[in-house]
Structure 1
Amino acid sequence: MIDQLSADQVAQFQRNGFLILERLIDPDDAARLADRFEGLFRGEFETGLYPDEWNWQEGRDSPDRTRQICNGWKSDYTVASVVLRREIGRLCAQLAGWPGARIAQDNVIWKPPGAKSLGYHQDNAYNAWIVPGEMLSCWIALDETSARGGTVEYVKGSHLWGPSAPAKQFHAPADYREEMIARARAMGHEPDIHYVEVPRGGGAFHHGWTWHGSGPNRAGRPRRSVVSHCMSSGATYHPTKVSYIYNRYKRMDDTTMDESYFPILWREDGYRTAWLDAYMRRAAASTKE
């Protein structure tokens, strides 16, 4: 990954709510991770653990739906070797102004040819269970991306529009931009949409309040990606608001985040969750077996 963001890149992120980069990880690493997708979505989880969310299963769901797994790092070492990188945490913390960053959730997303849209939304709309209730995300392309191929889209400056409710329909809505456009016009704006068109291994960082979504895949190749959604290293559980999925990892009468489930990727004092690097190295060992 890149070593450091320039002052101009940080300013661009603050102005636009996103920063697109031609290269985030080595293309060979991206290809190795893409090769894991078919097995993952068949339920072949090498750690023996199911992911926290498994939104598409072979033989159960329509083949024209975009496929998503959340927290694939718990199920697959190759996913972990990418989404848990120290550099991702450091750069997310730099852009967010945090003292450090921990993983909140990853997304493993597979949009095969013909797959339908994902509705526009703001990530922070789903974060009432976190204090502070904010994320900053690193989206990584595992295939070359294009507007025709249903790449992720960002609305320039939309992180300044303020919060909205979670999307009414995330998977395969009839009009994937409808809620975003309604919000834009209510604010007196016409949305300025930017497509993340990058080679394999490229990607983007985006603010938790930036409106984003993706259209159908009309290209003849898959669009696979992974996302590291980070939160502040100092984040805690909200004392009363509950995530029906992620509060299963909350200890009774304790709002601190357990690093077994929300490890710290990077902190400015040099701290990083102790077991992370050894866990990530298991990807290389599993590839040799």
Structure 2
Amino acid sequence: MTTNDSRFALTAAEQELLPSDDEVQFYQEHGWYLSKKLLSDEEVDLLDSATDRFYAGHRDRSLPTRPPRLAYWEPDKGDIHRHNDYIFYEDDTIRSILSKPIIAAVAARIAETSQIRLWNSTLIHKPPRADDARNIVPWHFDRHYWQTCSSDEMLTAFIPFHDCGEEMGTITMVDGSHRWKEIGGDDSTNRHFAERDRSELEDMLSENAAFNQAEVRKVPVTIPKGHINFHHCRTYHGSGYNVSDRPRRAISLHLQDRSNQWRPFELSSGDQVIYNNDVLVRADEQGNPDYTDPSFCPVLWEGPR
């Protein structure tokens, strides 16, 4: 994969890290892909130390307004499963590493798009506790939360700061589920998994599998330090308890393909769905949220069309 834009140029060594044709086919068939080592140990350790500073209160900038459904852990919430949205925006050290062209270039290759833009980013800390059900991430897929997006090809890069296996509650894929046809949903699918009953989401997974006459094959992805797991926006995924002796730290880097733009999405009540980005990004010529806003949705990779 080559590009004429020098900002996104890859070294010869990085070119070797791009997915092969077979790996692209794997992603298209299975809905997820574990990369080669894209980040050095030093870069991953820098993410970890920047996270310590962030949790201690450091911010390079703060959001200009607080979106209506922002996930944002603060110390008074205690030792729970932490989520902090917009970490790419608020911390320059983390931003500099997540902006490495090779990450988005891999995403562009498997998604078969000529441009990758940021959609959102979430810092995650899963404590080593098996006594709190809030540390389980129930089965869901991200497309449900992105109803104002026109694209069905968005994807997420899950980036742990250490070796990440089953004992840490690694991300687990429902293999091939991105290809399922979905049973007609209701307004509840727009709510984040943290706002919903876990058993309800288990039932939804089972019902969709039965509707598609598909096997629910759950694949816990063991991710070595510096490697990244990518998953399609319609791939069911979740994670279990962290039963190791240390926190599971990671970032979910949500990404847009070139085609994505805002679309209206109406609930049964007649209310319009508002995603958090909609109150942060600039307006386009029609007055709608502009998902190419360089402040919140910068281009991370640009290749030939």
TM-score by length of 2: 0.78
Instruction: Confirm whether residue 36 of structure 1 aligns to residue 41 of structure 2.
Output: no
Q: Please, which of 69, 75, 81 is the counterpart of residue 58 of structure 1?
A: 75
Paired letter, 1:247: D
Q: Any residues of structure 2 matched to 1:118-137 within 5 Å, and which?
A: 118-137=137-156
Instruction: Confirm whether residue 245 of structure 1 aligns to residue 276 of structure 2.
Output: yes
Paired letter, 1:215: G
TM-score by length of 1: 0.82
Determine the structure 2 residue equivalent to 1:203.
228
Paired letter, 1:58: P
Task: Give the deviation of 1:139 after TM superposition.
Answer: 1.2
Cα deviation per residue 1:136-159 (whole Å; 9 max; x = unaligned)?
121112121111211100011111
Unaligned runs of 5+ in 1: 271-289
Q: Please, which of 204, 211, 214 is the counterpart of residue 179 of structure 1?
A: 204
Task: Give the deviation of 1:100 after TM superposition.
Answer: 0.8
Determine the structure 2 residue equivalent to 1:265.
300
Is this contact kept in 1: 2:145–2:192, CA < 8 A?
A: no
Q: Any residues of structure 2 matched to 1:42-191 within 5 Å, and which?
A: 42-49=56-63, 53-59=70-76, 61-63=77-79, 65-114=80-129, 116-163=135-182, 165=185, 166=189, 170-171=193-194, 174-175=198-199, 177-191=202-216
Provide the identity percentage. Answer: 24
Counterpart Cα distance in 1 of 2:42 and 2:74: 27
Counterpart Cα distance in 1 of 2:116 and 2:192: 29
Determine the structure 2 residue equivalent to 1:218.
243
Unaligned runs of 5+ in 2: 1-13, 266-271
Q: Would you say how many aligned residue pairs link Structure 1 and Structure 2?
A: 268
Determine the structure 2 residue equivalent to 1:275.
none
Q: Could you say what the CA RMSD is over the residues aligned between the two structures, in angstroms?
A: 2.6
Paired letter, 2:85: C
Is this contact kept in 2: 1:155–1:210, CA < 8 A?
A: yes
Q: Any residues of structure 2 matched to 1:13-24 within 5 Å, and which?
A: 13-21=27-35, 23-24=37-38
Counterpart Cα distance in 2 of 1:263 and 1:86: 12
Distance 1:132 1:167, change over 3 A: closer
Counterpart Cα distance in 1 of 2:41 and 2:293: 33
Distance 1:170 1:62, change over 3 A: farther
Relative to its length, the structure with more helix (as a share) is 2
